[in-house]
Amino acid sequence: MEATRFAKRLLFFLPLLGAAAAINPYSGASAWLGPGAAFFAVATYARLGALALGRRGRDEALLALECLPFLAYGAACLGAAEPAGLALFLLSSLALWAFLLSLEDLLAPKAIGFSLVLADAAAFALAAAALDRLPPAATVGGGAACLALSRYAAARRRP
Amino acid sequence: MRTGASPAAARLAAPRMAASRLAAFLLAALALAALAGAQEPANARGSSAPPQGAFQAAAAAPRAAPIAIQGSPGLRASGGPFLPYRFSRIAAEAEAGFLGPFRVFGLGWDGGERLLFEAQAGAYSGVVEAVFHLDEETRALRVEADSPAGPLRLELDLAAEERRTGGADQGERSRRERMRALLPPPALTPRSVPLERLTLSEATADEAGRAAAANFSPPRPVAALALLAAFALLAAFAEAGAFRRRAARGEAARVEAARGGTARGKAGIGLVCAASLAAALGAYALLPRRALLFSAALPAAARGSAYSGSLELSRESGRGFQALRYGDPGRGLELVRIVTPGWSSVPLSLVASDKDDCRFSEPPLVVFREGAYALRSGSPLSGWVLHGSD
């Protein structure tokens, strides 16, 4: 069983490693794609991975957190090359990501399935567009405020 | 009643007073320095704003027959002649001074527009000199700038200007014809490691360019990828180890740990956060971010015969860039490829001068950075530079 767990987790990371090997700072991909594309790809893949590995709630959030290095690498290759810009992008991404996971937990705590992944992917695409188009202060602040509100609602709902 | 300090006390107090006076003096000096710094122009404090002096110092001698252009009220400019396949200059002057972004756009025949020059004008710069590259696709120029009095704008119709001056003469037409024939080679998959010595025996510039471009290989981010792979392995080992420990402690412990309710569970979450953050920082730190300039000066271009000969690879590094060049740079016909990840850029002086004819795969963006003009491009930029055409 241990070996199966090890293999499953390694298989989960392999596509991310492959994608990281395919892009690099000199590929010129940043001319067509922004760092938001890295967020969309990593977040959607992590959601799919959570579905495949049967993760929900805190476990899903931890799985998402383990994808952070790949997100940082992708964002740096796709335009967020300055340290401050990358830090703000990662903060914004984490805030929006946590908000969307929290919202999902709030609205559909028991739901699981591919249709939910599709809905999440659409939400991630919107978040990615916001990350590429809005100023970082707005995405960090907005994401954090939305996250706080959703956690507050979850706390109120809890018996 | 105490009327004064004793001599012993006065002796003890003297060094303290001296120290406090020294401290007061230092504080006053610091305050003065801060005040002086606040009154200094933003340029002098090392901002990215290009000061007028720096622009003038970087500028070459003005070209013959400059064209005077009147823009929105309070803005005038002069420059030119604006020839395709050349780097041109335009000096803009604002009565209220420039402050903030200064941009030159090229408007194409197809209706599209390209950013050709960008700089941050410092505190009330009076004159800004922009350098940009023109090709035959550019129909008009537009200058956009900010000033304390409001936004400024200027447009120049290059086609109308050329008609007004009687059009291109025979020499200019043949120069354009020659440059039109030089198509930058496409970005093919390069070798993993460039050759130290490149031997060419090609009949045309196109073939020689393809042979040389096969060696324009940017480095792979091996260290960053290795770190990500190590992180993936570590995460997989940690997952297997955590499963073994949970199995040993029983189902109740597993559920409790998953909720993060126990100290062990919380420590595990903290460990995942720390490891992910460290791996993200490490991957970023190991990622190469320098601009790259590849070039190959074709050996026999000046003689007009076949491009045959042996070219040695030389490496040159500067602040934020690395140049890998075959042959003797700055002579004859030279193939260049520029890759500028992030905000990095390659000094313009390493690529071309005012007198060189250049044809790029797309119009490059010229920026003013650290007192000099530099080239930047979102995607890898290829081009031919025909040196010393004048």
Q: Which positions in chain A touch B271 (Cβ < 8 Å)?
A: none
Nearest-Cα residue of chain A relative to residue B379 = A28
Residue B304, pLDDT score: 52
Distance, in Å, from the CA atom of B376 to the CA atom of B132, rounded to the nearest integer, reads 11
Q: What pLDDT was estimated at residue B12?
A: 42
User: What pLDDT sits at residue A105?
Assistant: 81
Q: What is the CATH number of the domain that holds B62?
A: 2.60.40
Give me the residue from A3, A9, A82 closest to B342, CB to CB.
A82
Q: Do A62 and B225 count as a contact with CB atoms less than 8 A apart?
A: no
Render chain A in DSSP notation, one character per residue.
-HHHHHHHHHHHHHHHHHHHHH--TTS-GGGT--HHHHHHHHHHHHHHHHHHHT--THHHHHHHHHTHHHHHHHHHHTT--SHHHHHHHHHHHHHHHHHHHHHHHHH-SS--SHHHHHHHHHHHHHHHHHHHHS-HHHHHHHHHHHHHHHHHHHHHH--
- 8 Å CB contact of B239 and A30: no
What does the pLDDT average to over A126-145? 90
- The answer to whether A71 faces chain B, any CB pair under 8 Å, is yes
Claim to verify: residue B212 and residue B226 sit in the same structural domain = no
Asked if the peptide bond before residue B329 counts as cis, ω within 30 degrees of 0, the response is no
Q: Are B273 and B293 contained in the same domain?
A: no
How many CA atoms, within 13 angstroms, populate the side-chain half-sphere of residue B10?
5
Domain membership of residue B60 (yes or no) is yes
d(CA B281, nearest CA chain A) in Å: 8
Which residues make Cβ contacts (< 8 Å) with residue B343, sequence separation at least 6? A81, A82, B376
Q: Are residues B200 and B346 in the same domain?
A: yes
pLDDT at residue A93 above 90? yes
Partner-chain residue, chosen from A6, A26, A58, that has the shortest CB–CB distance to B240:
A6
Inform me whether the pLDDT recorded for B39 exceeds 50. Answer: no
- Range A92-97 average pLDDT: 92
In a mutational test of the A interface, the residue from B48, B220, B287 whose CB has the highest number of chain A CBs within 10 Å is: B287
What φ, ψ does residue B146 adopt, rounded to 5°?
A: -115, 145
**What's the CA gap between A24 and B371, in Å, rounded?**
29
Residues of B in contact with A7 (CB under 8 A): 236
Q: Are residues B146 and B59 in the same domain?
A: yes
**Alpha carbons B127 and A108: distance in angstroms, whole number:** 61
Task: Give residue B327's pLDDT.
Answer: 85
Terminal CA-CA length for chain B: 95
Q: Are residues B320 and B299 in the same domain?
A: yes
Q: What is the pLDDT of residue B166?
A: 77
By percentage, how much of chain B surpasses pLDDT 70?
Answer: 76
The string of DSSP letters for A78-99 reads TT--SHHHHHHHHHHHHHHHHH
Contact B243 A2 (CB under 8 A): yes
From the list A59, A60, A50, A23, the residue with the least C-alpha distance to A38 is A23
Give residue limits of the domains in chain A.
2-157
CB contact under 8 A, B231 and A69: yes
pLDDT 10s digits, B55-111: 333 333 334 456 777 777 888 888 878 899 999 999 998 888 888 899 999 999 998
* Higher-confidence position of A20 and B258: A20
Instruction: Give the span between the Cα atoms of A28 and B28, in whole angstroms.
Output: 52
Is residue B235 in some structural domain? yes
Q: Which residues contact B195 (CB under 8 A, 6 or more apart)?
A: B215, B313
Contact B219 A3 (CB under 8 A): no
In a domain, B98, yes or no: yes
Mark whether B318 and B265 lie in a shared domain.
no
Q: Between chains, do B239 and A5 touch, taking CB under 8 Å as contact?
A: yes
Q: What local confidence, expressed as pLDDT, does residue A54 receive?
A: 81
B48 vs A136 pLDDT, higher one: A136
Higher-confidence residue of A136 and B53: namely A136
Q: What is the pLDDT of residue B102?
A: 93
| B261 and B113 within one domain | no
**What average pLDDT does the segment B364-376 reach?**
90
When pLDDT is cut at 50, 70 and 90, the band that residue B25 belongs to is very low
Q: What gap in Å lies between CA B26 and CA B29, rounded to an integer?
A: 5
Question: Are B97 and B125 contacting, i.e. CB atoms less than 8 angstroms apart?
Answer: yes
> Of B83, B41, B36, B92, nearest to B63 (Cα)?
B83
Instruction: Compare CB distances from A5 to B229, B243, B276 and report the shortest one's residue.
Output: B243
Using the 3D structure, point to which of B234, B257, B286 is the last residue of a domain: B286
| 8 Å CB contact of A72 and B239 | no
| Spatial distance between the Cα atoms of A63 and A8, rounded to a whole number of angstroms | 13
Alpha carbons A134 and A88: distance in angstroms, whole number: 12
Structural domain harbouring B250: 222-286
Which chain A residues are closer than 8 Å to B231 by Cβ?
A: 69
Per-residue confidence band for A59, with pLDDT thresholds at 50, 70 and 90: confident
Q: In angstroms, how far is the first alpha carbon of chain A from the final one? A: 37
Asked if the structure places residue B177 within a domain, the reply is: no
Tell me, yes or no, whether B310 lies in a domain. Answer: yes
Q: What mean pLDDT is predicted for residues B363-379?
A: 89
Mean pLDDT of chain A: 87
Contact at CB, A59 and B258, closer than 8 angstroms: yes
* Residue among A4, A50, A59, A9 nearest B254 (CA): A59
Q: Report chain A residues whose CB lies below 8 A from the CB of B259.
A: 58
Tens of pLDDT, residues B354-363: 889 999 988 8
Cross-chain Cβ contact B339/A28 below 8 Å: yes
**pLDDT number for residue A20:** 92
Please determine, for residue B26, whether its predicted confidence score (pLDDT) is greater than 70.
no
Q: Residue B279: what pLDDT? A: 94
Domain co-membership, B310 together with B358: yes
* pLDDT for the residue A75: 93
In a domain, B64, yes or no: yes
Give residue A50's pLDDT.
87
Q: Which sign does the torsion angle of CA B173, B175, B180, B181 carry?
A: positive
The pLDDT value recorded for residue B254 is 58
CB < 8 Å to B219, chain A: 26
Q: So what's the pLDDT on residue B5?
A: 40
Q: How far is B228 from A74, CA to CA, in rounded Å?
A: 11
Q: CA torsion angle for B106, B107, B112, B115 (degrees, to 10)?
A: 20
Question: Do A24 and B343 lie within an 8 Å CB cutoff?
Answer: no
Number of domains comprising chain B: 4
Residue B284 DSSP SS3? helix
Minimal Cα–Cα distance from B105 to chain A, Å? 18
Q: Which residues, in sequence order, are CB contacts of A74 under 8 Å at separation 6+?
A: A19, A20, A23, A35, A37, A38, A41, A42
Least confident of B29-33, B231-235, B349-353: B29-33
**Domain identity same for B13 and B126:** no
Proportion of chain B above pLDDT 90, given as a percent:
25
**Is the CB of B378 less than 8 angstroms away from the CB of A28?**
yes
State chain B's mean pLDDT as an integer: 77
The whole-angstrom separation of Cα B324 and Cα B218 is: 10
Comparing C-alpha atoms, which of B331, B322, B334, B316 is closest to residue B212? B334
What's the angle, vertex CA B257, arms to CA A143 and CA A149, rounded to 5? Answer: 20
Q: Taking residues B280-297, report their average pLDDT.
A: 90
Contacts of B220 in chain A (CB under 8 A): 24
Q: In the beta sheet, which residues pair with residue B128? A: B92
pLDDT at position B36? 36
Which region holds residue B100: left if phi is over 0, alpha if psi is between -120 and 50, else beta?
left
Q: How far apart are CA B37 and CA B215, in angstroms?
A: 49
**Same domain for B321 and B207?**
yes
Q: Judge: B232–A28 Cβ closer than 8 Å, yes or no.
A: no
Residues A93, A131 contacting (CB under 8 angstroms): yes
Shortest CA distance from A86: residue in chain B = B284
A84 interfaces chain B, CB cutoff of 8 Å:
no
Are A28 and B379 in contact (CB < 8 Å)?
A: yes
Residue A94 sits at the chain B interface (C-beta within 8 Å): no
Average pLDDT over residues A100-118: 80
Q: Contacts of residue A72 in chain B, CB cutoff 8 Å?
A: 280-281, 283-284
Residues of B in contact with A1 (CB under 8 A): 243, 247
Q: Is residue B242 located within the same domain as residue B352?
A: no
Q: Which of these, B342, B11, B109, lies nearest to A83 by C-alpha position? A: B342
Contact A65 B272 (CB under 8 A): yes
Strand B307-318 with B197-202, pairing? antiparallel
Could B218 and A26 be called an inter-chain contact, meaning their C-beta atoms sit closer than 8 Å?
Answer: yes
Determine, for residues B280 and A68 on separate chains, whether the beta-carbon distance falls below 8 Å: yes
Average confidence (pLDDT) over B41-52: 36
pLDDT above 60 (res B31): no
The predicted pLDDT at position A156 comes to 83
CB burial of residue A92 (10 Å; 0-12, 13-18, 19+)? buried
What value does the mean pLDDT take over residues B358-381?
Answer: 89
Spell out which residues of chain A touch residue B233, defining contact as CB-CB under 8 Å: 10
- pLDDT at residue B332 greater than cutoff 90: no
B167-224 pLDDT, tens digit per residue, is 778 888 889 998 998 888 776 667 777 788 888 877 788 888 888 888 888 888 899 9
pLDDT of residue B333: 87
Residue B176 belongs to some domain of the structure: no
Give the residue with greater pLDDT, B70 vs A53.
A53
Residue A150 has pLDDT above 80, yes or no: yes
Q: What value does the mean pLDDT take over residues B140-147?
A: 91
Taking the CB of residue A6, how many other CB atoms lie within 10 A of it?
Answer: 19
Q: Are residue B270 and residue B190 in the same domain, yes or no? A: no
> Does residue B15 carry a pLDDT above 60?
no
Percentage of the residues of chain A whose pLDDT score is greater than 90: 35
